[in-house]
């Protein structure tokens, strides 16, 4: 027997809102280069972007019965994170289920298997990040866990952790670290704005990054 866990501790909405303002790359760097999901998980459209609390589900390869259960129990603001064995040859999610998610206010779906009906999903405006695009249909046979920790794209994802996605991919932020990561991301963004201003003012990358001493110590010379 499989028990569906519907009561989870979701991320603080203020933390989700704060992190949504920063890019995946900035967040990854700000939290010590942690949390980056496999680059094989990509948006079906590069304009797609999202941030929300993880609602995790484990599916058997080429089987989407538990995904449909997850959609039924997920709440507005959730990001459904699907671990399905990194099986590319399956279209486990399409425009019909995307409409079901959109109607419930679900924020996004990320999956390590395939999706289909991408044109219709893009037109619907529902963010979907997947390992592949594949038309092959799925079965509805095998039960699996909902809202247990899963391994997704090389990262452990717990229910309620924050998931952020944009054109560059997906990053996971631990729920309890979210406020501090947002603070660090803001500081990093401000520092990078300073670097760009310095470049525009005519300074070189070596000057701005304080690389002269490092390069000299490594034996780099020039003919200037």
Q: What is the pLDDT of residues 84-102, one digit of tens each?
A: 999 999 999 999 999 999 9
Q: How far apart are CA 163 and CA 173, in angstroms?
A: 6
Q: Is residue 121 part of a domain?
A: yes
Q: Is residue 5 part of a domain?
A: no
User: Residue 220: which residues within 8 A CB-CB, separation 6 or more?
Assistant: none
Query: Is pLDDT of 1 > 90?
Result: no
What's the domain range around 90?
13-182
Q: For position 224, what pLDDT does the model report? A: 75
Question: How far separated are the first and last CA of the chain, in Å rounded?
Answer: 74
Q: Is residue 3 part of a domain?
A: no
Give how many domains the chain has, as a whole number.
1
Q: Is residue 222 part of a domain?
A: no
Q: Is residue 212 part of a domain?
A: no
For the chain, how big is the Rg over CA atoms in Å? Answer: 20
> Do the strands 108-111 and 78-83 form a parallel or antiparallel pair, or are they unpaired?
parallel
CB 117 within 8 A of CB 162: no
Q: Is residue 6 part of a domain?
A: no
Per residue in 139-196, pLDDT (tens digit) is 999 999 999 999 999 999 999 999 999 999 999 999 999 999 999 999 999 999 999 9
More confident residue, 108 or 1: 108
User: Residue 213: which residues within 8 A CB-CB, separation 6 or more?
Assistant: none
Q: Is residue 156 part of a domain?
A: yes
Sign of CA dihedral 68, 69, 75, 80: negative
**Total Cβ atoms within 10 A of residue 44:** 18
User: Residue 94: which residues within 8 A CB-CB, separation 6 or more?
Assistant: 115, 116, 117, 120, 121
pTM of the model: 0.95
Q: Is residue 196 part of a domain?
A: no
CATH code of residue 22? 3.50.30.40
| Lookup: tokens for 164 | 């952020």
Per residue in 48-62, pLDDT (tens digit) is 999 999 999 999 999
DSSP H helical ranges for the chain: 13-19, 24-30, 65-73, 95-104, 118-124, 178-200, 205-208, 212-217
């Amino acid at each position: 027997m499989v028990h569906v866990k519907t009561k989870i501790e979701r991320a603080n909405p203020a933390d989700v809102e704060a992190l949504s303002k920063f890019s995946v790359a900035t967040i990854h760097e700000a939290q010590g280069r942690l949390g980056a999901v496999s680059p094989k998980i990509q948006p079906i459209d590069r304009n797609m972007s999202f941030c929300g609390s993880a609602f995790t589900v484990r599916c058997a390869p080429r089987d989407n019965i538990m995904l449909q259960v997850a959609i039924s129990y997920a709440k507005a603001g959730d990001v459904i994170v699907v671990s399905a064995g990194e099986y590319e040859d399956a279209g486990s999610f399409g425009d019909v289920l995307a409409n079901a998610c959109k109607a419930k206010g679900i924020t996004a779906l990320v999956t390590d298997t395939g999706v289909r009906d991408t044109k219709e999903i893009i037109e619907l405006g529902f963010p979907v990040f997947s390992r592949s695009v594949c038309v092959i249909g799925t079965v509805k046979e095998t039960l699996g866990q909902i809202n247990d920790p899963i391994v997704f794209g090389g990262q452990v994802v717990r229910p309620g952790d924050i998931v952020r996605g944009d054109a560059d991919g997906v990053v996971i932020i631990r729920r309890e670290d979210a406020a501090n990561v947002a603070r660090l991301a803001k500081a990093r963004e401000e520092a990078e704005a300073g670097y760009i201003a310095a470049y525009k003012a005519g300074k070189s990358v070596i000057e701005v990054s304080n690389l002269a001493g490092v390069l000299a110590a490594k034996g780099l010379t020039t003919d200037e």
